[in-house]
Amino acid sequence: MRPETWFLSSGGAAQSAAGDGKLVLAPPGREPSDVLYHDPYTPVPPLPRGADRGPVQLREDVLCWTSGPLPGPVPAGAAEAVLRLRIPVAEGRLLVALTDVRPDGQVLALALAEAVCTGPAAARELRVQLACGYAEFAPGHRIRLELSALGRPRYGADPAPLNAPAVYRVHHDTARPSRLVLGAPL
């Protein structure tokens, strides 16, 4: 399977599935960044793989980029999200979900991955592996990439930076193309 690259694109308003976030096959031009607001006191609820993520993706603190209806089957295989981010804190926890939007509106997670960004608050490239096994997007379905900030960890230490409100910027322009690679080598 040859890797297939889908680029993140928007007019700067990819907040929620109702926003303007798109997954497209052409590299981006000049585009504004998308902004993810994280309030640790109203965290996005975690849902298991296979659960309907549609209600979660209607939240304004969840970024979504969605393809158009697929004309034919698209294997998901091993996927990788390559995100160009600016994070305001020394440590941030993000949830990346690769979801299948069915024609009836149901949104199923094929893969979920937690990513921890550490280091100085700055722009960075974050690579997130999304293992989908032998999953395939069927004709008429849409591919959606979801990004949200995670709240406090369930177990263990509760570092202070995770408990502060934060604003993340996701870049997807010519110089900093964020993308989803389906069929990526592991």
Average pLDDT over residues 33-47: 85
- State yes or no: pLDDT of 88 exceeds 90: no
**pLDDT value of position 154:** 47
* Domain annotation for the chain: domains and CATH numbers: 4-46+63-154+161-182 (2.60.120.260)
Of 37 and 46, which is predicted with more confidence? 37
Q: Which of 81, 87, 89, 100 is nearest to 141 (CA)?
A: 100
- State yes or no: pLDDT of 70 exceeds 80: yes
| Cβ–Cβ under 8 Å, residues 9 and 174 | no
Residue 28 makes CB contacts below 8 A (sequence gap 6+) with 7, 8, 9, 172, 173, 174, 177
**pLDDT value of position 156:** 45
Mean pLDDT check: name the lowest of 7-21, 46-60, 119-133: 119-133
Alpha-carbon distance of 109 to 52, in angstroms, equals 7
Q: Which two tokens stand for residue 160?
A: 């202070």
User: pLDDT tens digits for 97-155?
Assistant: 999 999 999 999 999 898 887 766 667 888 999 988 778 899 999 999 999 988 655 44
For residues 145, 165, 55 and 107, what is the CA-based torsion angle, rounded to 10 degrees?
10
Percent of the chain's residues with pLDDT above 90: 53
**pLDDT value of position 167:** 85
pTM of the predicted structure, to 2 decimals: 0.90
Long-range contacts of 101-104 (CB under 8 A, 24+ apart): 101/66, 101/141, 101/142, 101/143, 101/144, 102/141, 103/69, 103/140, 103/141
